[in-house]
Chain A
Amino acid sequence: MSDSTPAAAAGDLAALVRRAPLGFRGTVTRVGGTSLAAVPPGADDARTAVVAVTEVLHAPNGFRRLAGSEVTVRLAADASPLAVGDTAAFFTRGLVYGEGLGVVELGRLPADAVQQHVSMAATTADEMPLSSVQRTIREEDLAAHAGQTDAVVVATVVGLEDVDRASHSEHAPHWWRAALDVSIVEAGDVAPGRITVLYPSSGDRRWLHVPKPAPGQEALWLLHATTGELAAEAPFQLLHPDDRQPVQRLAVLREGR
């Protein structure tokens, strides 16, 4: 790649990062081969390549230390062929996890197109070069999620009680009711003052990640209108892991909207 390769347009890069959970820069060490028995070369042998990872751009926690490893890449159908020695920034999703990693290519950029982010990362507290892009995506997602809820408020938890609905299942939500003292109404048909909100108190895997209000806790709450027979218990409920945010996220939310 030439030194004059332009930096990737921010929108293009964000779209790639959104689609692809793993991004890395690397050098092709084999074409038409595989470093993983579980990823046999396809009918078109040239669509598989082994890439030595030089730098992780963004990744889930378990793959942030992938640099130095070889990864087998099933190339995107519409991507240009690669030759041994080529370098690029690969945007991928997982395919097979064995003695090594097999991934599917979702997008590719010239290696230099992300250089600006790599250089910047060295001067910030960001863990990975594309952490700032991921942060922007998370903020967009939060705004989108807020747009799908029925009320957005800043409120303090002032009461908790068991709704006491019988359940025979390990996976039942075990609903509790939280009383919230609302100080700011950002969206929805809610007045400042006290409202009630149902939440699943169960720690079962199905409900573990839904927020559990704690006494005295002040937060930004993203509320869903309660439907069905549960509506008699409270007008709103918490259902999603992102339904509780730090109060400081209100400013981020306003910016994103």
Chain B
Amino acid sequence: MPTIKVVDITPRALSGDTSLDSEPNLAVNPENPNQLVATAFTPDPMGGPLAPVYVSADGGDTWVLRSVVPGNADPGGTGDISVGFAPQGGTLYTGILNGEDGDLQVLRAADVTSDAPMEVLVDRAAVHNPDQPWVVAGGTVVNGSGRDVVYVGNNDGDHQPHSATVDVSADARHGHGAFRSVQVDQRAHRVFDGPPVRIALHPDGTVYTAFESWSDFSGLVVTFDVVVTRDDKGALVASPFQDLRDSDDGVAGQRVAAGRRVRFNVKAATLGQERTGADLSIAVDPTDSGTVWIAWCDGTGGTVPTDYVLHVRRSTDRGQTWAPARADLVNAKNPALAINADGLVGLVYQQLAHDQWTTALELTADGGATAEAHVLHQAPGDVPKAPPGALPYLGDYIRMVAVGRDFYGIFAGNNTPDRANFPVGVTYQRNADFTTHQLLDLDGVSRVPPSLDPFFFHRAA
């Protein structure tokens, strides 16, 4: 019988924390799923020069915070951050926007339990606002020796208008990885690409990317296509991501949806304190590299123009044609897809309805016809209050990964200790009184106001 656990990963030593620890990310060591690394917009607790990561050695039951990431801005912490473990050897790769200077950096840590700062492999200046480095690590064997093949999706303004980019290293474990920057948007007459560039990697060498290609941006409204590209040789060829051609114009990159419109980088009342504009996820079936799922958000559907609608589609022919795989979700965001070793598809998302944020996990084994659904968290959308004008609120992304038959994920949410907010249960490490619904400081007595914490979840098969 599958089980689900949810853990507030804020350690007890940070019981006095009141920061908005949003936009979380997660990596699971495939060789040892008890070892996990999580990230969020968590500042160094003592204002030091390095930003922290959360590390668990016991499958997510307990976590410690270590500051090892270059560029902690006081009081802001790091900029965007994502993480991925290599398939073998335990090396962790991290993509960040440095909190001090905004540079895009790719980092490496040979040992996630070390106090040593992560090593900088790539440093790209912030002049043209690089964005959302998204790390996915794979592996290959060359002459009997394992190599870490690392992909970092990002939005690189240097490549404007074709800014959707994937930095690829065929051997990231050694030296600085010799990362190569690949433009994945090859369609003409574009103005820019949206911030998220997501990657789905299959063990047979098939690698998909998904991005949002903007054709117009005026009056805060973006018109964009949702595009998927594919490379059948791990993107380790001279001209990668040419293996999926659009069925209409023949250009590399199949348009999954065209002419979608959305208000970009603005708060919409329908999403409470959160902004709209750029939500995207893609996952490939580990049992069949021809089956791939995608989820994104735009302004199509809903009942009022400001509704933000989450769409889910599936392809069974290597990305050439796509069909709806789930009913649209209105005023939902942060889709995260993953597919386990049985082909079971997981979708987690966050939805605002009736002034409540709900984080839900759905699993389907039949292409979306039926689903097992769980509410992981639900809480008032106006608690805590973000500072005036502050964005994002919950964050521009969350993450879920599958290792074997298990799903592991992370989301940010209101940390009020109320069992009614966690229908599948929850464990806190920080001091909390679930009877009075109060967070408590290090002394176990003084009250601490609610804030946003990262919550880990694990669905064990």
Contacts and interface: CB of A to CB of B under 8 A. Distances in A.
A165 to B, nearest CB: 12
Interface string B364-389: 00000000000000000000000111
A22 B47 CA distance: 10
A180 B256 CA distance: 50
B248 interface: no
Contacts of A62: 14-18, 45, 442
Query: Most A CB atoms within 10 A — which of B45, B79, B192?
Result: B45
A69 B79 contact: no
B65 interface: yes
Interface in A196-220: 202-206, 208-209, 212
A113 B427 CA distance: 43
Nearest to A171: B129
Nearest to B126: A171
Given A99-B429, A169-B157, A206 B441 contact: no
B150 to A, nearest CB: 23
A206 B64 contact: no
Contact of A66 (B65, B76, B102, B442): B442
A192 interface: no
A101 B65 CA distance: 10
Given A171-B97, A203-B391, A208-B389, A63 B16 contact: yes
B65 A61 contact: no
Contact of B195 (A61, A93, A169): A169
A48 to B, nearest CB: 13
Contacts of B52: 97
Contacts of A170: 131, 195, 265, 275, 277-278, 391-392, 396
B76 A96 contact: no
B241 interface: no
Nearest to A166: B217
Interface string A91-106: 0011111111100000
B47 A60 contact: yes
A101 B52 CA distance: 14
Contacts of A22: 46
A215 to B, nearest CB: 15
Interface string B64-79: 1111000000011101
Given A21-B46, A205-B76, A98 B11 contact: yes
A93 B46 contact: yes
Nearest to A203: B389
A191 B202 CA distance: 65
A169 B46 CA distance: 30
A65 interface: yes
A206 B96 CA distance: 13
B12 A100 contact: yes
Given A69-B442, A203-B391, A98 B79 contact: no
A93 B217 contact: no
A202 B17 CA distance: 25
A18 B133 CA distance: 34
B64 A97 contact: yes
B214 A168 contact: yes
B263 to A, nearest CB: 13
B89 interface: no
A101 B102 contact: no
Given A61-B18, A68-B443, A97-B13, A208 B76 contact: yes
Contacts of A38: 55, 64, 66, 113
A64 interface: yes
A93 B44 CA distance: 11
Interface string B26-57: 00000000000000010011111000100100
A65 B265 contact: no
Given A62-B14, A63-B45, A170-B277, 20 more contacts: A21-B46, A62-B16, A64-B16, A65-B16, A65-B446, A94-B45, A95-B66, A95-B115, A98-B64, A100-B13, A168-B129, A168-B192, A169-B157, A169-B195, A170-B195, A170-B265, A172-B129, A203-B387, A203-B390, A206-B102
Interface of B: 11-18, 41, 44-48, 52, 55, 62-67, 75-77, 79, 97, 102, 113, 115, 129, 131, 155, 157, 160, 163, 191-192, 195, 214, 217, 265, 275, 277-278, 387-392, 396, 429, 441-443, 446
19 contacts: A21-B48, A38-B64, A62-B17, A62-B18, A62-B45, A63-B16, A63-B45, A68-B443, A94-B44, A94-B46, A94-B48, A96-B66, A98-B12, A98-B62, A168-B160, A171-B102, A203-B387, A203-B388, A205-B76
